[in-house]
Amino acid sequence: MASSPSAPIVELREVTRVYRQGGVEVAALRGVTLRVLAGEFTALCGPSGSGKTTTLNLIGALDRPTSGLVRLEGHDLTTLGRRALAQLRRDRIGFVFQSYNLIPVLTAYENAEVVLALQGVDAGVRRRRVMELLAAVGLAGLENRRPDELSGGQQQRVAIARAIAADPAVVLADEPTANVDSETAEMLLNLMQRLNRERGVTFVFSTHDPRVMQHARRIVHLVDGAVAGEERHE
């Protein structure tokens, strides 16, 4: 079920997530309510342990809440089975991780192509799409290089191309600037901002990096697993 233009792509309602550590219950999220609309460029900000990554994992169907509601494009993720969640992750969610998570034995082209190949997209269509995306992220001519032949910033560009290749509803970026220098971080943020502006890609970041906050149009502050407030910048 696709969302209407005014409906949120992502919705969390009174979400809690409790873990057990050494026989003790630890609340990672405490009643988080959040809505993300199409085309937003949103940063979830807060110190370590504030619940940023837990929130992304719930949105990305990598984890389930202890209580509350998590919806993606109207789908209630708390009611879907394992196979349905895997298909939703493949088709509707793009992921960008701080550690890149590229497949070492594959080239930049093959890494960017992975999701489309899993979807069974025709090889010719895949090639046109991936080559266009690699050019868009500044990697034209580097498509045959493996990750160990690319800089950290170039690897993250491959990860961004992979994340948007299948035209997902939302791209979730977990600390995407953590492992690159300041100049590269600025280049990556400008790239994602351009993809958001020109292609309408919806981004949700988890970060404590002031550089990401400066680029975000919406900042949601998390403290001790709860939303402490938000601000918007045009």
Tokens 């349905």 label which residue? 84
pTM higher than 0.85, yes or no? yes
CATH architecture of 10-232: 3-Layer(aba) Sandwich (3.40)
pLDDT tens track of the chain, all 234 residues? 444 456 799 999 999 999 988 889 999 999 999 999 999 999 999 998 999 999 999 999 999 999 999 999 999 999 999 999 999 999 999 999 888 999 999 999 999 999 999 999 999 999 999 999 999 999 999 999 999 999 999 999 999 999 999 999 999 999 988 888 888 889 899 999 999 999 899 999 999 888 889 999 999 999 999 999 999 987
Radius of gyration of the chain (CA): 17
Closest CA to 206 of 220, 192, 194, 217: 220
The residue ranges of every structural domain in the chain are 10-232
